[in-house]
Amino acid sequence: MASSVATERASSEVSRREPAAPISLGRVAGLAVLTLGAVVFLFPFYYMVVGALQREPKTDISGAFPNPANLTLANFADINAQVDLVRTLINSGIFTGGVLLATFVIGMLAGYALAQLDFRGRNVVFNAMLLILVLPFQLFMIPLYVLIVRTYGLADNYLGMILPFAVNATAVFIFRQFFLQLPRELFESARIDGASEFMILRRIAIPLARPAIITALIVTFIGPWNEFLWPFLITKQHDLQPLAVALANYISTVAARAANPFGSILAGAVVLAIPAVIVFVVFQRQFIESNLGSGVKG
């Protein structure tokens, strides 16, 4: 572990010490295109934030460039009065956190096994996982509900919320694809040295697959964070409901009564989106350019 960290630090320092690329027409053009693209991508979100901050909703183009006098935090206060933002955010956190934990532990083991370990029945499991991935949730919804509520007795319970999402099949798929990219020779030497498979996973495979892990975790985060149908079915008690559910409830019934319904809905949506953005911003730094090649060839 210590050696690979040192390698990483060394390589990133090396890349930082390289001189910056020269400013060429190509680079400027590329940057311009990227910026234009970023504007297009950001615009709806920007509009959402602006809408959340406006006192009076403006549905035409002028709404995109608000009058500073029209800006207010009242919409956030409004939605907080209807929906306990703190409590629901905590619930969202518990729900998503549980899913992340299960996916990381169980999914990682499974992804590694599917990619690098040779055992009979491997393909059966892989195909079963593909099948789950392919089928839409609507198909499973009612039998799953019956199963969890009646057979396992987990209604109105965080575990009942977490279970169907517990191991994200997409994440397992991602783990597998990336572990597939790692050459077997890497592990053979460790095996010959007497390391247990588990240690190999922990000490070698995981650090190498770090970008894939970050990707899988970010991806796994979004699902439960934005999910509103399942937790809604499972929990009737308000103090267990995650923010996405409370927001959906709010939109469908109560919103019309607020002073600025459009604004307060957007305020709720912004609050829902922000933690996801923060998670991404924090973790995208992990995509450091590491010099993997030298690890194998050396």
**For residues 86 and 277, which CB has a smaller minimum distance to another protein in the complex?**
277
- Minimum distance from residue 44 beta carbon to another protein (Å): 4
- Minimum distance from residue 68 beta carbon to another protein (Å): 22
- Minimum distance from residue 241 beta carbon to another protein (Å): 11
- Minimum distance from residue 283 beta carbon to another protein (Å): 10
**For residues 2 and 192, which CB has a smaller minimum distance to another protein in the complex?**
192
| Whole-number Å distance between alpha carbons of 174 and 83 | 36
For 113-145, give one letter per residue: b (16+ CB within 10 A) or e: bbbbeeeeeeeeebeebeeeeeeeeeeeeeebb
**For residues 69 and 124, which CB has a smaller minimum distance to another protein in the complex?**
124
Beta bridge partner(s), residue 194: none
Q: Which residues contact 255 (CB under 8 A, 6 or more apart)?
A: 261, 264, 265
Q: How many helices (H) and strands (E) does the chain have?
A: 17, 0
- Minimum distance from residue 78 beta carbon to another protein (Å): 13
Separation of CA 61 from chain center:
32
| Whole-number Å distance between alpha carbons of 84 and 250 | 11
**For residues 47 and 73, which CB has a smaller minimum distance to another protein in the complex?**
47
- Minimum distance from residue 217 beta carbon to another protein (Å): 10
Q: How many degrees, rounded to 5, is the angle at CA 96 between CA 92 and CA 99?
A: 150
**For residues 73 and 277, which CB has a smaller minimum distance to another protein in the complex?**
277
**For residues 61 and 69, which CB has a smaller minimum distance to another protein in the complex?**
61
| Whole-number Å distance between alpha carbons of 298 and 290 | 15
For residue 71, report the phi and psi dihedrals to the nearest 5 degrees: -85, 140
**For residues 21 and 69, which CB has a smaller minimum distance to another protein in the complex?**
21
- Minimum distance from residue 71 beta carbon to another protein (Å): 19
Enter the tokens of residue 228. 């509103």
- Minimum distance from residue 292 beta carbon to another protein (Å): 5
Enter the tokens of residue 20. 């910056």
Among 262, 218, 268, 275, CA closest to 245:
268
**For residues 69 and 256, which CB has a smaller minimum distance to another protein in the complex?**
256
**CA quadruple 158, 160, 162, 163: dihedral sign:** positive
